[in-house]
Each structure stands twice: as structure tokens, then as C-alpha cells.
Structure 1
């Protein structure tokens, strides 16, 4: 009855099943992944750190990401932040007191301004807040910027995406100084909503490593189904999270 009343008042429906009422109904929420697994793209970009995802980019996960990023359904950020936190938790292991810096992969220049909202940044901030409540020393840090002139990635092959993104990201000094004032050493985890070919994550990893902040893992909500399935045999060879050594922060 409550969901029906909400639909009458707000005209909303579940992004997963279309049921009138809440934007994510209790049944679809209960069906969301509760853990994350290693999700290598195929082919794997050379040098990419271990990527973790809660599931394939399909069905409810896909609807959540698209609703949040492209349809202005910003209330979905809380659910997606919880999923991202699940991936970060799997990558980092249990809290051990060491600082954990979550760095969002930047959007193309102007996209957040057009939306009036930074969807990836919102997820990272939400995930960090959840992890802090679980005793992680987690800190969101929007360190990366993306230059103009990058083509839309839709329809590009893995090779074309890598070429399109090469040298497109940087880590400006002001952000580094702010981070250095708060943390002198940290493990850095790159965060995004979806992993497709891994080219974007690899370019973000390069930009951070260039200033001495080598990421230890990539954490995303979802990975494309084809690559997630192909990665299954690779992921099975990992008995646990990758070794996460400390990474120095520089101002």
C-alpha cells in the first residue's frame, strides 16, 4: 500500500522491475550483490592493478547506474555507494588502521557541470562515509582531472579507448597538497561506477603513479558482462585480496 501511495504522489517506479512506488523496491534491493569479486577485463591493459566489482553490468545494476548517472535519479546514490563500498572492502581487506584514500575516476570536462552533479564523486564520498562507520580510515579525494579533446568512448574497441585516453588525465598540485596535509601515507584505491575495457582505469592509474600515488586496486560497482564472465577463470586463481602495500602521498 505504501509503494502504491508513493507512486500516486510521486509517479515513481522501481528501476529494477518497474513496480510502482519506490525507486528500488524491497525485492530488488534484497537481490543486490552482497560481495565483490576480481573482475579482469579482456584483454587486460598492461599493468592494470586488480579490479573488483560486485557483479555484471546488467539488469538491476545497469538500471541503477544509468538511472543515477543519466536520468537524474540521484537518490540511488546511497544504494550505489553501498555497492562501491563492498568492492573497496573486498580490495582492501578488513580495517587495519592504515589510511585508505578513495580516488574517483574523473568525468569528461563539462559533463558534471551539464548535469549539475558529479555522480562518481557522490558515490565515492558515500562509500567512504560507510567505510568510516566500519572503522576504516577512509578518505575520498578527487585528485584527478581530465583534459578536453577526448572522444566519447561508446563503440570504441579496447585499443581505440586506450589510444583515445592516453595522457588525458593529470593530478594537479593543489589536490596533492590538500591530501598531504591530511595523510602522509595511504593506500590508494581507484573508484568508478563501471569497468568496461579497463582503459579509463589504466589511464587514471598512470596519472596517479606519475606523482607517486600508485593505486593498489580498482573498485567499481559493476563490470561489463562479457568481460566479467571471461574473467571468471582468472578470478578463481585469487584466494583473497591482492597484497596492498602502503603508497606514499606527496604534496
Structure 2
């Protein structure tokens, strides 16, 4: 037997043994006692319902899984999304997609929204795993759709960048952590690679900025589709030193879809660099505040 096969066999045997140890009643009791001890030393609560002494209670975990088990097309109400790549159809033409297709793992409401808010704004990075699983499902569905349309090459997963102020306030990039975890566990769709190609212009140093004469963009909350699109237009650029091969296929990744203005800005940057943006994927989608389309 080849040495590599022997090594894989040994690792598999160790994994089976370890799994058996963890399932023993004595081990389960010891682990439970350990959790109870640490809940006294470092009190915690469910990130979604605030139940005590647990990171994410079984009921909330079950709700999140049920709410994100069937990814769906979420671009119907996002009125700031750009046109789909190569769209040439017209009104009533069922053979073409008039806007960039966006796949969401779930709806931004209930337990899903509370979990996302805790993860992003309360530094609850300990609940990232269920969100990673939800995003993985949306990625698999989105990539499957791209493959069905004939694209069989490498697909670049391009995350929406975090603002510098948000990074400094949180101390981490929520979307980057989710994608890094999926990449580390080998749970990204086959033939896909994470590529942080886009940054906010405020993060660039040296050289003139097209935003020099513009006011700092305000918060997106409460703005309609056209207002959000205007608010973020030209606020992003290709990361310095990065170049894309002509025709590179990209999938834009975000955490929450509202009007699609941020996804539209990332798409603008990538298309200007010569890339093909085939769609987007998000953890959750919320109804857009404006449906002027």
C-alpha cells in the first residue's frame, strides 16, 4: 500500500476512535460539567434569544437551520441591482434574466436576523458556524446555476468589503471570517476561490481619489434603492496590485441583501476591470425599502 494511503487509513482510524470516545456517556457528562463550569466563570447567553449559559440554544439553532435549508432567488425586490451579464431581453421575455441573479440562504427576519446582528454588532464570532453553513448552501446553489448556464472554469468569490470604520469598531471582518472558515474546512463549491479584489477607496493610500470632492457616504439605513445607489456609487475600487484575466467569472458575496446597491457597486468595479459578474450570494435577504422598479 502506498505511504499516502496508509497515512489516510491511520487518520481515519484515529477519527473513528476519537468519535467513539466523544460519544461515551462518561465523556458526555464530563463535557457537560465543563460547559457548566465555564458558564459560571465566563457567563454567556444564546446569541439569538438570550437564554442563559449557552452560546446558541438548540431551539434557535434548529430555527436557523430550518430557515436556511432551501436557498432561493432573492433579486425580485432589490431595485438597485445591476442588469444581468449580457442581458439582451426585453419586458415579458422569459428566456433572459433582467437583473443580476442573487441567491439567498434565508430571509432576514426572526432568529436569522437576530443571529446575524449578534455576529456582526455584538462581537459574537462564536456563532459563526451556523451562518457559515447557511452561506455554504447559498454558494452551492448559486454556483450550480452558473454551471448550468455553461460556465465550467474557475469562479472567483468576491466579498463585499467592510468599511474601515466598521473594521476598527468590530476588530474583524464578519464576511471575511465566514468565507475563511468555509475555505479552511474545504466547504467552498468545487472550482471556486475566494478573492478579496475590491476595497473602499478610503482604504487606499496615495494618488487622487474621485471622492475628494464628495461628502462622506452616509449610512444606508432607511434609504431607498436609488438613494442607496447614489450613496455608494464610486466609493469602491479594485485592490491595488490586483489584476483580472479578461473574462474572469466572479460571484459577489454579501451578508444581507436589501436593495442591492452595494452589490451593484462591487459589480461595477469588477466589470470595469474586465470581469464577468455571473451573480451574487448572500446569507439573508430582506424586502427592499423601495420598489420603484
Tell me the TM-score normalized by structure 1. Answer: 0.78
TM-superposed CA distance for 1:26, in Å, is 2.3
Counterpart among 17, 38, 44 of residue 73 in structure 2: 38
TM-superposed CA distance for 1:207, in Å, is 0.7
Matches for 1:174-213 after TM superposition, within 5 Å: 174-176=241-243, 186-213=248-275
Counterpart among 177, 183, 188 of residue 122 in structure 1: 177
Structure 2 Cα separation of the partners of residues 92 and 134 of structure 1: 10
Deviations 1:106-156 (A, max 9, x none): 1223321332211111112223345x3476122111110112422111121
Partner of 2:225: 158
Are residues 1:29 and 2:84 paired?
Answer: no
Partner of 1:243: none
Partner of 1:8: 40
TM-superposed CA distance for 1:95, in Å, is 10
Are residues 1:138 and 2:192 paired?
Answer: yes
Deviations 1:146-195 (A, max 9, x none): 12422111121211111011111111342337xx6xxx975311111100
Partner of 1:113: 168
Q: Is the 8 A contact 2:257 2:285 kept in 1?
A: yes
Deviations 1:59-97 (A, max 9, x none): 111112111111111122222122111111110118977
Deviations 1:2-28 (A, max 9, x none): 465554343212123332232212232
Q: How many residues align?
A: 222
Structure 2 Cα separation of the partners of residues 166 and 94 of structure 1: 28
Alignment RMSD (CA, Å) = 2.7
Partner of 1:72: 123
Structure 1 Cα separation of the partners of residues 60 and 146 of structure 2: 29
Tell me the TM-score normalized by structure 2. Answer: 0.67
Higher relative contact order (CA 8 A, sep 6+): 1
Q: Is the 8 A contact 2:75 2:100 kept in 1?
A: no
TM-superposed CA distance for 1:30, in Å, is 2.3
TM-superposed CA distance for 1:221, in Å, is 0.4
Secondary structure of 1:215's aligned partner: strand
Q: Which is greater in Rg?
A: 2
- Structure 1 runs of 4+ with >4 Å offset: 3-6, 94-97
Structure 1 Cα separation of the partners of residues 267 and 276 of structure 2: 7
Structure 2 segments unaligned to the other structure (5+ residues) = 1-28, 84-98, 203-215
